[in-house]
């Protein structure tokens, strides 16, 4: 390889390293941004650890943090105001009662092995 080609190759590698560093920095800024907004999200839910509170307040002092907070409040309000209030059709209770009537009472099944796998699985013990 000639010296000229070597210089070009070196410049190319340097350029790649520079770009890589820039991408790393951008990624790091994005990560920090996301972490701060995740703190704001947890703060909105009252689930933020005390140790993270100062950082969240600092993030709320920025326009982006304020905008995120406002957006989260709007989202919560909109979801809670949605018309779906869980109303069931008139025949629901009768249909369910009819199916439940066909189920055997638990007492009479005592001692039998479970044959139906639990849909929920076993919940972790507290």
Smallest distance from another protein to CB 55, Å: 15
Q: How far is CA 126 from CA 17, 68, 107, 118, 123, in A?
A: 50, 35, 27, 19, 9
CA angle 30, 32, 38 (to 5 degrees): 100
Q: Output 4 or 91, the one with its CB closest to another protein.
A: 91
Q: Does 81 bind another protein (CB under 8 A)?
A: yes
DSSP-assigned letter for residue 54: H
Q: Output 3 or 90, the one with its CB closest to another protein.
A: 90
Q: Does 30 bind another protein (CB under 8 A)?
A: no
Contacting residues toward another protein, per CB under 8 A: 34, 37-38, 41-42, 45, 47, 67-68, 70-72, 74-82, 84-89, 92-93, 95-97, 99-100, 103, 105-109, 114, 116, 118-126
């Amino acid at each position: 390889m000639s010296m000229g080609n070597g210089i070009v190759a070196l410049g190319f590698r340097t350029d790649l390293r520079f770009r890589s560093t820039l991408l790393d920095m951008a990624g790091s800024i994005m990560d920090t941004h996301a972490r701060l907004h995740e703190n704001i999200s947890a703060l909105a839910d009252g689930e933020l650890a005390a140790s993270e509170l100062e950082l969240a307040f600092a993030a709320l002092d920025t326009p982006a943090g304020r905008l995120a907070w406002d957006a989260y409040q709007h989202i919560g309000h909109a979801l809670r105001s949605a018309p779906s209030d869980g109303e069931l059709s008139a025949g629901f209770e009768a249909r369910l009662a009819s199916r439940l009537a066909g189920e055997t009472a638990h007492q009479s099944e005592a001692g039998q092995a479970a044959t139906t796998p639990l849909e929920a699985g076993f919940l972790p013990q507290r």
